[in-house]
Chain A
Amino acid sequence: MIRQISKPLVWVALLGRMVLSGVQEAGALALFALQGIINIFSPPFYWRIFVGSMINIGYLSLPVVALTALFSGGVIALQSYTGMAQYHVDSAIASIVVLAVTRELGPVLAGLMVAGRVGAAMAAEIGTMQVTNQIDALRTLSTNPIKYLVAPRLLAATIALPFLVIIADILGVLGGFTVSIMKLGFTPQGYIMATFNAVKPMDITIGLVKAGVFGFLIALMGCYHGYRSKGGAQGVGASTTAAVVAASILLLVFDYLLTDIFFSK
C-alpha cells in the first residue's frame, strides 16, 4: 500500500503512524496505572504478595544501594576537593556532599539500581506468567490479575524506595565523611558540624518524595511491560529490557521535573 503513494507522503504516513502508536501507548499506560492505583485501594488486598515484594525491593536491594551510595559520597568528596582546593574553600566539601547526596544522588542512584534489579525481575516474572497462560488462569480462578500481581508491587515499591534512600543518604554522607577524614585531613567534628549546617529537612524530604515517585515508576514499568509480553522467551526478554530502559528514562525525566518544581524557586 505504501508503495503506491508518492515519496514525501510515505514520510508523512510514517510520522502519523508513529504519533498514533505513541498516543495509543501513552493511553494504555495511563489506563494501566489508573487500574493499578484503584486496585490498591479496593479490597481484597494481597498482603502476602505485598510483604514479599517489600522484602525483595527493599531488603534485598540494600547491599547494592548501600555500596553505590558509599562510593558516590566518597567520589564527590574527592572530586570537589580537587576543584575547591584552588579557591581555598575546601570547607564547602561537607555541604556539597550532603546536598548532592540527599537531593539528587541518593534517590537517582538508588532508583537506577532498583530499576535494574527489581524492574527487570518484575517484567520477567509477570511476562513469563503472561506467555504461559498463568494470567488467564488467574482470571478463571476468580482473581483479578491487576489486583493480585500489579497493585501490591506498585504499593511496595512506592513505600520501599524512600526507606532505601534514607539509608543511601546516610551512607553517602558517610562515604564523603570517611574520605574527607582519612585522605583530605578534615576533623570529624568540623565535618559533621558543616554537614548539619548545610542540610535542611526540606532537602531530605524532597529527596524522599522523589524516591517514592521513582519507586512507583519502576514498578509500573516492570508490571506494564511484563503484562504486555508476547511470544515466548524472546518476548519476555524484550519486555524485560523495555522495562529497565523505560524506567531509567522516566526516572531521569521525573527527576528533572520534580527538581524544577521544588528547587528552582
Chain B
Amino acid sequence: MTQSVPKIRIRNLSKSFGSNHVLRDVSMDVETGTSFVIIGGSGSGKSVLLRCILGLMVPDSGSIEIDGQNIFELSSAQRNEKLQQMGMLFQNAALFDSLPIWQNVAFALLYGHRKNKPKVSRHEAYDIACDVLKLVGLDPTMVSDLYPDELSGGMQKRVGLARAIASKPEIIFFDEPTTGLDPIMGAVIDELIKSCVDTLGSTAIAITHDMASAQRIGDHAAMLYKGELIWQGKAKDLLMTDNPYVHQFTHGLRQGPIKVETKVK
C-alpha cells in the first residue's frame, strides 16, 4: 500500500479484439507529478492502453482509477469532467486542418464544453494561444494565422503540444512524440515536454519506442510485450536491466526472446 493515492491506478486491465488479446492483465500506478514511459514494439498494445485511459475505448475487464475514482463507475458527466483534466499529443499531431494555428491551440477554451470553467472571449483565447505558442518555442506573430498544412512536421508537433497543454491539464498523454522527427528535433520536443510537464506540475504518460526519448522524458518506465507489462522500473535503469526482453528491445538486437518473423512459412 502506498502512502498516497496515485494519480492513475490501473488494475488487471484486459482488452481483446476477437481472438486477439491486445492487453492482458495490465496493472500499473502513476504517481502525481511524475512521468511514466511505456515502451514496446509496434502492435504491443501501447496505443490501446492509452486510448482506454483516455476513455476513447472501453476495456473488457479491469479498472482504471484516476484520483482514486474508477472512471468506469462514474456517470458520463463526471467522466467528462475527468477527461477535461487530460490533454493528449497525438502521434501525427492530429491538428484541425480547417482552423488556423491559434484556434487549434485555444480550441478547448473556444469550443470545449468545460464545466466549472470561466467562459473565455475570442480575444482572451487568442492571447492565451500566443502565450502557449511561445512556451513551445514558436513565434506567435509568425505562425498564429497559418494553417496546419503550412507547417513542418516538427512545428506541427509543437503546435500539438501547445494544444495539449493550453487548458493546463493535470494529466498529459504523449503518443510517440518523437516519431517522424529528426534526432535533433526529437530532442527539442522531449525537452519541451519535460519543461511543460514540470512547469504545469502535470502527470505524464508517454508511449514510445525511441529509447533516447524514453530516458529523457521518463521518471518511471515499463515495457509492454504482447499486451503484458513484462517489466517496470526507473527509466534510467532501462538500459541496465538484465530482463532479456527489455535488453533486446532497448539495444535493438535481432537475436533474443522477442522473435520477429521476416519470412512467410
The judgment on whether A and B are partners is yes
How many A-B pairs have beta carbons closer than 8 Å: the answer is 61
Q: Are A137 and B80 in contact, with the CB atoms below 8 A?
A: no
What 0/1 pattern do residues 87 to 115 of B give for CB contact below 8 A with A? 11011101111100000000110011110
CA distance A136 to B160 in the complex (A): 13
Interface residues contributed by chain A, number (CB under 8 Å) = 18
> What residue of chain A has the Cβ atom nearest to residue B88's Cβ?
A140
B84 at interface by CB-CB < 8 Å: yes
CA distance A134 to B95 in the complex (A): 7
Q: Indicate the member of A132, A137, A142, A144 with the most B CB atoms within 10 Å.
A: A142
B54 at interface by CB-CB < 8 Å: yes
Q: Are A139 and B94 in contact, with the CB atoms below 8 A?
A: no
With A44-B113, A136-B56 already in contact, the answer to whether A142 and B94 are too (CB < 8 A) is: no
Q: Are B113 and A144 in contact, with the CB atoms below 8 A?
A: yes
> Given A129, A133, A141, which contacts B92 in the complex, CB threshold below 8 Å?
A133
Q: How far is the CB of B121 from chain A (nearest CB, A)?
A: 14
Chain B residues with Cβ under 8 A from A148's Cβ? Answer: 111
CA distance A125 to B113 in the complex (A): 22
Chain A residues with Cβ under 8 A from B51's Cβ? Answer: 136
B83 at interface by CB-CB < 8 Å: yes
Q: Are A141 and B163 in contact, with the CB atoms below 8 A?
A: yes
What 0/1 pattern do residues 59 to 83 of B give for CB contact below 8 A with A? 0000000000000000000001001
> What residue of chain B has the Cβ atom nearest to residue A44's Cβ?
B113
With A46-B111, A133-B90, A148-B111 already in contact, the answer to whether A140 and B83 are too (CB < 8 A) is: yes
With A141-B107, A141-B163, A143-B108 already in contact, the answer to whether A136 and B90 are too (CB < 8 A) is: yes
Q: Are B56 and A139 in contact, with the CB atoms below 8 A?
A: yes
Q: Are A137 and B96 in contact, with the CB atoms below 8 A?
A: yes
Q: Are B112 and A134 in contact, with the CB atoms below 8 A?
A: no
Chain B residues with Cβ under 8 A from A147's Cβ? Answer: 113
> What residue of chain A has the Cβ atom nearest to residue B115's Cβ?
A142
16 pairs from A and B in contact (CB 8 Å cutoff) = A125-B98, A132-B92, A132-B94, A134-B96, A136-B56, A136-B94, A137-B90, A139-B54, A140-B54, A140-B56, A140-B87, A142-B80, A142-B84, A143-B111, A143-B112, A144-B113
Q: Which residues of B contact A (CB under 8 A)?
A: 51, 54-56, 80, 83-84, 86-88, 90-92, 94-98, 107-108, 111-114, 163-164, 167, 173
